[in-house]
Structure 1
């Protein structure tokens, strides 16, 4: 159906909105909402009507709905004050009030052609990075934008579990107004990254948005304002930041997707995703619940390095916080070695392997080799720094542990893993005698994940050193409530606290009332 109103033409079949001869770029959900409003212009539509029609009944926040309505108004050069075309009816809903002329059929013969079916999705998350729009009016900025996009594609390609469309395919969309849902169908990808570059004087603003191509929803968005001094250094900085942000964003989206998927139709990768939320709590009961899923994944794909890595982590949680059973230690190390064997091109698997080997096998050299290999593969993988900082700190390399923790937080400040580097920043500052800084970082870590037992120990230590014994004992009691079998001696032996820092750690935890 083709709708005409004022100087706009809305082609519902081709998913195009034009103003005169100009093709307007419009977000898919905004486009769907506009079509719904125009086709239902004879009545007031409620919020529930819109959610059912545009989002198929999924839960949508008022803020999301308002932003899409504002998007419609913006596309139509309307606003909430004038309400020339889209009018809010108090306590009832909204209504399209423009005069509309309808035409059956398409606006051009091209639209009569049968739409392509598109490529099927691969069995792992897939992404296309579109050329960033040059909003500067300066053709020289095309080189900067294109170079940065190429680097982002390269960086994402190093993430083993991610299927990334090659540059030559992505760049066929350069200079075109695109519908990301159609891009997803054309290229056979689930996610699309798009963005823009705008230069003003010696400053440059870069924006990026990660979009689910299935429904047009935004998963991540960020804006970077920088001085344009060293072009290549700036490209590198933005590339690392974008890649680091996308990895956990896609991981969260994939976990939610698999939760909605039929349990009798899963791959090894899906089983891993189902296990992840349980392993991420760091606690033994959840690790025990997640392990059968990982074992099923490894039965399907015995050389699945990342499943070995997560199984190693699960057994590590069971050993350190679930009874110190020797079998869990042995299995954790065995899975870690398998992750190294099969995961030489998988940074996350190597990070998990280095974590378990550094703590339980207490082989700092092999752990460091795993971390170094992981960082060589993907310098933007916050996971490596987040897991690596723990054995590094327990081994007594305090400055490096704090630096790695800080780097993990900068790369991925909103990641579910943030409690680990935040806690290690606190633990490291405690070891350096900076107890106020340690307490501040320790409290932030506990807020991020109050159910992770050792975080309370890392907070108790600097509180005790400052003589705030009552507060330290409260933190110690919380640790014991989560891990009733905790003793200072068993824990420090289990994770290999280095002799150089052992006395400092043991004394502080003892002062906090924890059993020896």
Structure 2
């Protein structure tokens, strides 16, 4: 359902607010509030109604509610004085008073003509073209089209990505297309195209992600599968494709913003510029990345993902930069802001859960954040890659390893892979499988030799195997990277569970690490 009023259009299915052809950026809670007011425009909506609908009954301060109402008015060029569209009814609540025309999805089903007047959205944008049926079997069209629709739905759950709706991208079905032209006509930076070929009881699916600006290939993959349960196969391929696209697009966007003039950058661009430094996992990188994240938040104070990365950066400074309480407090504050503003952003919730689990040791709230993130996007490897750490430190080795394996299965070439690979080693150490722990630990160190704790996770199983010189060498590399490290300081800071504390600290002591 979409709602049209004045020159605005609010599309509930695509979660977009537009004024003419311009996409208006609104925070998810603001969108939900506005949509609820419009749907219930025939009555006055109370504060309790809004809290139940938008915050699912959670405790919300009057200041938070007022800020979201003000943000909704700002998006509509309304104000508290004018109240042209959103009117405050004294001591009763709010009411949307604009004239609204509803348009059902069926009414929009007629194919849209590609539009050449669309500008490229400020955030990354993608169109998923219908996959070519190479089988000569018309029945395979249903399989291919259904999979593409699922991929569009999956990508739409990535909050930082603008996804063209099916009705627009499917106007290219059966046509030979030029990707650069598609980019211009649909106003997108990236295009995903592919093909399906059936032979006997097997099917081959290919996909490639292309930069519509220069035609370069960002990612390509081929999937060969048994064609048994069609719907299960669609689900499997959808999850694999969406999981692969997210980190590849993130890398492409970082490279793009490096080429832009600094004076043309918005909040999203500032965040992208910060990521390579934050992704070092070390204090020196956090110090370089945080000023850019602060600039992003100065432009967009409710930017959940920027809060999430700021939380991670301050957590890095706290745990590996001297255990200063100011960094712990800032990490927690940004993490809670990421939860408050990021109800629809899986990555922001993952970063928040990771930080809260480590610096506040609130594993229950951390698990709630991870669960909410996975409900939004089950294909987001980022959630599993961050979630595995507090899970492992809580002593749940089996679940930690399972999450690590899922993270690497979804996105095996991600920059984050050193974390799940290292936690596989740590989890095997906790389970007494020291040889497997050493093998996984060495792989993690090879992926990111500059991440200090990986050497600690490797030193512990080496020590238990009696390979003391190797364990001490690993411990020495940790100390060279993090001179502040002590076993007691680290284990208390991250909240190592009492059930595993003795085993972990004892092995690290054998490796020669300071108490």
Q: TM-score, normalised by structure 1?
A: 0.77
1:116 is displaced (CA, Å) by 7.8
| Alpha-carbon separation, structure 2, partners of 1:494 and 1:250 | 34
Match of 1:80 in 2: none
Match of 2:482 in 1: 483
| Alpha-carbon separation, structure 1, partners of 2:193 and 2:484 | 50
Residues 127-159 of structure 1: CA distance to partner in whole angstroms, max 9, x if unpaired?
000000000001110000000000000000000
| Alpha-carbon separation, structure 1, partners of 2:457 and 2:201 | 45
Q: Secondary structure at the match of 1:196?
A: strand
Residues 70-90 of structure 1: CA distance to partner in whole angstroms, max 9, x if unpaired?
xxxxxxxxxxxxxxxxxxxxx
| Alpha-carbon separation, structure 1, partners of 2:115 and 2:264 | 26
Is the CA contact (8 Å cut-off) linking 2:135 and 2:198 kept in structure 1? Answer: yes
Match of 1:332 in 2: 331
Match of 2:170 in 1: 171
Q: Secondary structure at the match of 1:220?
A: strand
1:117 is displaced (CA, Å) by 4.9
| Alpha-carbon separation, structure 1, partners of 2:139 and 2:501 | 58
Residues 256-292 of structure 1: CA distance to partner in whole angstroms, max 9, x if unpaired?
0000000011000000000000000000011011101
1:397 is displaced (CA, Å) by 1.0
| Alpha-carbon separation, structure 2, partners of 1:166 and 1:443 | 44
Match of 1:442 in 2: 441
1:118 is displaced (CA, Å) by 4.2
Q: Secondary structure at the match of 1:264?
A: helix
Match of 1:105 in 2: none
| Alpha-carbon separation, structure 2, partners of 1:483 and 1:441 | 22
Match of 2:365 in 1: 366
Please list, as runs of the form range in 1=range in 2, the aligned pairs for 1:363-512 lying within 5 A after superposition: 363-512=362-511
Is the CA contact (8 Å cut-off) linking 2:239 and 2:379 kept in structure 1? Answer: yes
Please list, as runs of the form range in 1=range in 2, the aligned pairs for 1:286-305 lying within 5 A after superposition: 286-305=285-304
- 2:255 aligned with 1:256, yes or no? yes
Please list, as runs of the form range in 1=range in 2, the aligned pairs for 1:17-28 lying within 5 A after superposition: none
Is the CA contact (8 Å cut-off) linking 2:418 and 2:448 kept in structure 1? Answer: yes
Match of 2:198 in 1: 199
Q: Which 5+ residue runs of structure 2 have no aligned equivalent?
A: 1-113
Residues 453-504 of structure 1: CA distance to partner in whole angstroms, max 9, x if unpaired?
0000001111000000010011000000000010000000000000000000
Match of 2:350 in 1: 351
Match of 2:140 in 1: 141
Match of 2:243 in 1: 244
| Alpha-carbon separation, structure 2, partners of 1:326 and 1:221 | 45
Residues 294-349 of structure 1: CA distance to partner in whole angstroms, max 9, x if unpaired?
00100100000000000000000000000100000000000000000000000000
| Alpha-carbon separation, structure 2, partners of 1:486 and 1:289 | 21
| Alpha-carbon separation, structure 2, partners of 1:200 and 1:311 | 50
Q: How large is the Cα RMSD of the aligned pairs?
A: 0.9
| Alpha-carbon separation, structure 1, partners of 2:363 and 2:460 | 24
Residues 394-443 of structure 1: CA distance to partner in whole angstroms, max 9, x if unpaired?
01111000000000000000000000000000000000011111111101
Rg: which structure is higher? 1
| Alpha-carbon separation, structure 1, partners of 2:354 and 2:115 | 47
Match of 1:231 in 2: 230
| Alpha-carbon separation, structure 2, partners of 1:225 and 1:274 | 37
| Alpha-carbon separation, structure 2, partners of 1:337 and 1:223 | 40
Match of 1:159 in 2: 158
| Alpha-carbon separation, structure 2, partners of 1:415 and 1:386 | 10
1:119 is displaced (CA, Å) by 1.8
Deviation >2 Å, runs of 4+ = 115-118
Q: TM-score, normalised by structure 2?
A: 0.78
Is the CA contact (8 Å cut-off) linking 2:438 and 2:458 kept in structure 1? Answer: yes
| Alpha-carbon separation, structure 2, partners of 1:175 and 1:116 | 18
Match of 2:26 in 1: none
Is the CA contact (8 Å cut-off) linking 2:116 and 2:186 kept in structure 1? Answer: no
Q: Secondary structure at the match of 2:262?
A: coil
| Alpha-carbon separation, structure 2, partners of 1:350 and 1:220 | 26
Is the CA contact (8 Å cut-off) linking 2:133 and 2:195 kept in structure 1? Answer: yes
| Alpha-carbon separation, structure 1, partners of 2:232 and 2:501 | 41
Please list, as runs of the form range in 1=range in 2, the aligned pairs for 1:301-316 lying within 5 A after superposition: 301-316=300-315
Match of 1:107 in 2: none
| Alpha-carbon separation, structure 2, partners of 1:400 and 1:338 | 27
